[in-house]
Amino acid sequence: MQNNCYAHFGQMARDHESDYRAIFIYNVFMQDFSNLISVIQKSQKTLFILCGFPYSGKSYVVNHIKSRTDIRVVSIDDIFKAKGFDWNTNKLPDSAEWQQIFDESCAMVKTALTRDTNVLFDSTNQTLESRNKLRQVADSIGFNTYVLYIKTPIETVWQRWEENKENPTRSVVSKELVHMTIDMFEEPTEDENVIVINNR
């Protein structure tokens, strides 16, 4: 069903290019980017879980949403940087430290949910396990969840990685880490209540 949905909006996608040469299209419930903003504005007690490859355009989407809604954003990168880690110098957490960062981010999400109507969790969220953990946090206090899936071709990811390496406009994530994230990526499925953003 999802594949049919992507095909149905394929022509429409070519008419919606952004500053990032990105094209935004949606599942059958949405026609353009303004509809996503409308869904967020009308939602109550909802956790929106961002999901996508590195360099997929997640930051663009987050900034667009922040500028048009009062949603509270919890970013795993903020915790990462606060602990002294750095993508540019490849100073990265070990597995135990990554788990600590994720656990801390989940705690921040729960706190934010108890204080705000809607929360957006900003990370790659590349595994079903990580998304399920976030859903459990939301479920525990009676919140709904959506997955905002930024669907981007791998060749586009690498093109943007190369461009950013030559002329950095954001942190330069190591090639090895990008490969690892792509390899372990588990694409969200319809039963996860997904809003698909095709970003070519």
pLDDT per residue as tens digits for the range 42-97: 999 999 999 999 999 898 889 989 999 999 999 999 999 999 999 888 899 999 99
pLDDT of residue 2: 38
> What SS3 class is residue 131?
helix
pLDDT of residue 30: 41
Residues sharing a CB contact under 8 Å with residue 106, sequence separation 6 or more, in sequence order: 133, 134, 137
Listed range (27-36, 54-63, 88-97, 121-130) with the worst mean pLDDT: 27-36
Whole-number Cα distances in Å, 186 to 3, 14, 109, 174: 16, 26, 22, 20
pLDDT per residue as tens digits for the range 132-146: 999 999 999 999 999
More confident residue, 31 or 184: 184
Q: Does domain 2-198 have CATH number 3.40.50.10190?
A: no
Banded pLDDT at 32 (limits 50, 70, 90): low
Which candidate, 180, 176, 126, 120, places its Cα nearest to that of 152?
126
Both tokens of residue 194? 């997904």
The residue type of 53 is F
Question: 18-22, 56-60, 64-68, 154-158 — which one is most confidently predicted on average?
Answer: 154-158
Cα–Cα distance for residue pair 189/96, rounded to 1 Å: 28
pLDDT of residue 33: 74
pLDDT of residue 179: 96
Q: How does the average pLDDT of the chain come out, rounded?
A: 83
pLDDT at 14 over 80: no
The answer to whether 128 and 186 have CB atoms below 8 angstroms apart is yes
pLDDT of residue 131: 97
Tell me what the mean pLDDT of segment 153-182 comes to.
Answer: 93
CA–CA–CA angle 99, 177, 126 (5° rounding): 55
Predicted TM-score of the model (pTM): 0.82
pLDDT of residue 118: 94
Residues sharing a CB contact under 8 Å with residue 2, sequence separation 6 or more, in sequence order: 27, 189, 190, 196
